[in-house]
Amino acid sequence: MKKSAFITSLLLLSTMYVCAQTPVYLDEKAPLEQRVQDALSKMTTHEKIRMCHGQSKFTSAGVPRLGIPQLMMSDGPHGVRAEISWNSWAYADWTNDSIVAFPALTCLAATWNPQISAIYGNAVSEEFAYRKKDVMLGPGLNICRMPLNGRNFEYMGEDPYLTGEMAVPYIQSAQKNGVACCVKHFALNNQEVDRFAVNIKVDERALNEIYLPAFKKAVQKGGAWAIMGSYPLWNGVHCCQNDTLLNKILKQQWGFDGAVISDWGGVTDTWQAATGGMDIEMGSYTNGMTKESEFGYDDFYLGNNFEKLINEGKIPMSVLNDKTARALRTIFRTAFNRNRAYGNICSEAHYTACRQIGDEGVILLQNKKGILPIEAKKYKNILVVGENATRSLTKGGGSSELKTKRDVTPLEAIRGMYGNDVDYAQGYSSGRVMYDHVDNVSADELARLSSEAVEKAKKADLIIYVGGMNKNTKQDCENSDRDDYNLSYGQNELIARLAKTCPNIVAVMISGNAYAMPWKNDVTAIVQAWYLGSEFGNTLCDILSGEVNPSGKLPFSFVNKLNDCPAIALGKESYPGINKQQTYKEGILVGYRWYDMKKIKTLFPFGYGLSYTIFKYGKPKLSASTMSEGDYITLTTTVTNSGKRTGKEVVELYIGDEKCSVLRPVKELKGFKKILLNPGETKTVTFAITYEDLKFWNDKSHSWTAEPGMFKAYLCSSAEDVKGEIEFELK
């Protein structure tokens, strides 16, 4: 053999030897489960324990000795939060962590467009990947039970079907980039008042029909790799350590194989957390957002105390192995995944995505005299009024607050479009953004600002009012609910005064929640905008100018008065609870389910939104008038754009059970399609109605049941605008 051939064979052999020695957990071609179990078999008890709790404010440990990386987490859900210090809640003051703020999840839900959801998930996760974050703390999937909840803006409305359908593409496209979604807050975190201590009673049907389905879909259809336990208690046990919720429902019934991560400070007991299905405990000895403590990470409930119980054999090793395997799975899917995306931040593509999401989520609620889109040449003196026209709304709100690289305010964008002579008056003031504190502004100051605006209004022939809420404490912010359904800072009075002064008012309202509109009839147009992120102003101008035809629809109902809302109407035990005990008395009748049943007319119903064009619906037709178990039928209809502009319409399908042995809502959302139509164009829309769509949660058999009999399909443009009805029978 020649010398070179000899050397080559030697090299080959040594490579083969090294390969043969490569542990399975490092072999990227080996199946995930084999890698996880191999890693587990090489770890000491202490190393396993270390993976079950935080090692800093936003990371949990890997296995340094084996080269298994730690998990880096960040809030979520509207962009990557600025870097937080390793060991305190203070921002780390990095100079490379400014990002794009994407629109709030309420806005995403308002698009009713799953393709937009996929665009969102992809873009936001690329920012997480670039910032080297493995776990994105979001999306939030709690149901909007009442409009005071401080965190509704981080969720996707009052309907479990809409929330679930919108969550799935978000999660799938985010996780394609190797970033885990940690869907939150599982479960029943439907208010911020007493969030750490309120004990919730909810009947089995409401739990299964309203509060769990979006999470179930996120896990089973979306394939979420992580889930965050919530703060409140359900049936006397904190949700972060609730055996029924985490072990029985999530892991056993739904087959979730990822990691349950606690909300920050949501674990309160070693035994319960260890045996109750919590896998990675975060933020203990804090109040979630602010309070620090002298405790070290080994003192966490799933630290030394848990290790002791394992070593004494009081809790079996299999419990620890299961938790560690779940943490490992999450690491292998993200941080330890060579194929994950590198991502990017602040790319033009992300600003475009941000604007695209906003453009489809903004809702036109009222448009008298066809005042919108604004024809600039009609007006000589345009006046912008309202603090939100100049305020950065990416700040505040709690853990979802963001540090952006570039923001466009409404005033900047409006002046960019209609000229620098557009005048501005602040109109009201809300003070500084302070977490857990309200910066009170004096009545004198509010009166001065209001009069100043009215004075300017005398000269104006068009007012664009930009107000609403702003993520201050008690204004769409974590850890507090709003005190009142009315807008704050004297805005109701201000709008009424402006309306008396100027005949043309376009009210652009920013919020993540519904609010009272005593001035509804006094203003010409109402635009419901959300926290629209970095492209706030540009998005707004797209809609105001008609560059984009509005196509968003409400993901929750706007009630006329707070007492119309069932959670409120049913008394303090129902909201916010008495002595921290709460019962969801309305059961399954949340949102439009209640308004339908009680025949309460809303201010603006669920699923409502106008367009600059007109859509005409054809009659619904069914493929068959009967169906049997396991079967499906199809419903088709036509929709025509009979107006003059290209536009998108959301066609909504609801199903109602005509006669049933249990109470059922009049109708429930079971399908929606968003279609684009040119002027004069007609399209056919088809929905499948499946056997599954007819089921309710049977609290006697504890399973999903459909009862034979007559059902009705409702083809709608909103929950109160039924375009066609058609009956069919389940045999």
Residue whose CB is less far from ligand BGC, 135 or 206: 135
Which tokens go with 394?
A: 């990416």
**Closest separation between CB of residue 167 and ligand BGC, Å?**
15
> In Å, how far from its chain's centre is CA 138?
7
Pairing of strands 696-698, 703-705: antiparallel
Residue whose CB is less far from ligand BGC, 227 or 371: 227
In angstroms, rounded to a whole number, what is the distance separating the alpha carbons of residues 518 and 16? 78
Is residue 149 a contact point for ligand BGC (CB under 6 A)?
A: no
The residue number whose beta carbon is nearest to ligand BGC equals 288
Q: Which of 75, 134, 159, 263 is catalytic?
A: 263
Give the HSE-up count for residue 641: Cα atoms under 13 Å, Cβ half-sphere. Answer: 20
Is residue 133 a contact point for ligand BGC (CB under 6 A)?
A: no
Is residue 83 a contact point for ligand BGC (CB under 6 A)?
A: no
Which tokens go with 471?
A: 């993520």
Which tokens go with 427?
A: 């109109």
**Closest separation between CB of residue 240 and ligand BGC, Å?**
11
Residue whose CB is less far from ligand BGC, 196 or 271: 196
In angstroms, rounded to a whole number, what is the distance separating the alpha carbons of residues 493 and 499? 10
Q: 184, 323, 593, 664: which one contacts ligand BGC (CB under 6 A)?
A: 184
Is residue 263 a contact point for ligand BGC (CB under 6 A)?
A: yes
3-class state of residue 689 by DSSP = strand
Residue 190 sits at the vertex; the CA angle it makes with 431 and 172, to the nearest 5 degrees, is: 100
Is residue 575 a contact point for ligand BGC (CB under 6 A)?
A: no
**Closest separation between CB of residue 74 and ligand BGC, Å?**
8
In angstroms, rounded to a whole number, what is the distance separating the alpha carbons of residues 249 and 170? 23
Residue whose CB is less far from ligand BGC, 289 or 675: 289
Q: 264, 558, 612, 687: which one contacts ligand BGC (CB under 6 A)?
A: 264
In angstroms, rounded to a whole number, what is the distance separating the alpha carbons of residues 366 and 266? 42
In angstroms, rounded to a whole number, what is the distance separating the alpha carbons of residues 590 and 593? 6
Instruction: Report the DSSP beta bridge partners of residue 626.
Output: 729
**Closest separation between CB of residue 184 and ligand BGC, Å?**
5
Residues in 662-691 that interact with ligand BGC by CB under 6 A: none
Spatial contact of 724 and 637, defined as CB atoms under 8 Å apart: yes
263 is catalytic: yes
Size of the site for ligand BGC (CB under 6 A): 9
Give alpha helix (H) positions in 222-367.
243, 270-275, 304-311, 317-333, 348-361
Is residue 153 a contact point for ligand BGC (CB under 6 A)?
A: no
In angstroms, rounded to a whole number, what is the distance separating the alpha carbons of residues 727 and 657? 10
Is residue 289 a contact point for ligand BGC (CB under 6 A)?
A: yes
DSSP assignment letter at 211: I
Residue whose CB is less far from ligand BGC, 402 or 543: 402
Is residue 75 a contact point for ligand BGC (CB under 6 A)?
A: yes
**Closest separation between CB of residue 87 and ligand BGC, Å?**
15
Spatial contact of 152 and 144, defined as CB atoms under 8 Å apart: yes
Q: 99, 101, 129, 137: which one contacts ligand BGC (CB under 6 A)?
A: 137
Element containing residue 713 per DSSP (H, E): strand 709-718
Q: Tokens 């609010």 identify what position?
A: 515
**Closest separation between CB of residue 186 and ligand BGC, Å?**
11
**Closest separation between CB of residue 170 and ligand BGC, Å?**
16
Which tokens go with 446?
A: 């509010």
Is residue 399 a contact point for ligand BGC (CB under 6 A)?
A: yes
Residue whose CB is less far from ligand BGC, 270 or 399: 399
Instruction: Report the DSSP beta bridge partners of residue 510.
Output: 468, 529
Spatial contact of 302 and 49, defined as CB atoms under 8 Å apart: yes
Residue of 490, 478, 484, 488 lying closest to 568 (CA atoms): 484
**Closest separation between CB of residue 127 and ligand BGC, Å?**
16
In angstroms, rounded to a whole number, what is the distance separating the alpha carbons of residues 127 and 74? 11
Is residue 279 a contact point for ligand BGC (CB under 6 A)?
A: no
Which tokens go with 441?
A: 């502004």
Residue whose CB is less far from ligand BGC, 168 or 182: 182
Residue whose CB is less far from ligand BGC, 230 or 388: 230
Is residue 512 a contact point for ligand BGC (CB under 6 A)?
A: no
Residue whose CB is less far from ligand BGC, 478 or 657: 478
In angstroms, the Cα distances linking 329 to 27, 222, 256, 279, 577 are: 14, 16, 12, 12, 39
**Closest separation between CB of residue 76 and ligand BGC, Å?**
6
Is residue 288 a contact point for ligand BGC (CB under 6 A)?
A: yes
- Residues at the contact surface with ligand BGC, assessed by CB under 6 A: 75-76, 137, 184, 263-264, 288-289, 399
Active-site positions? 263
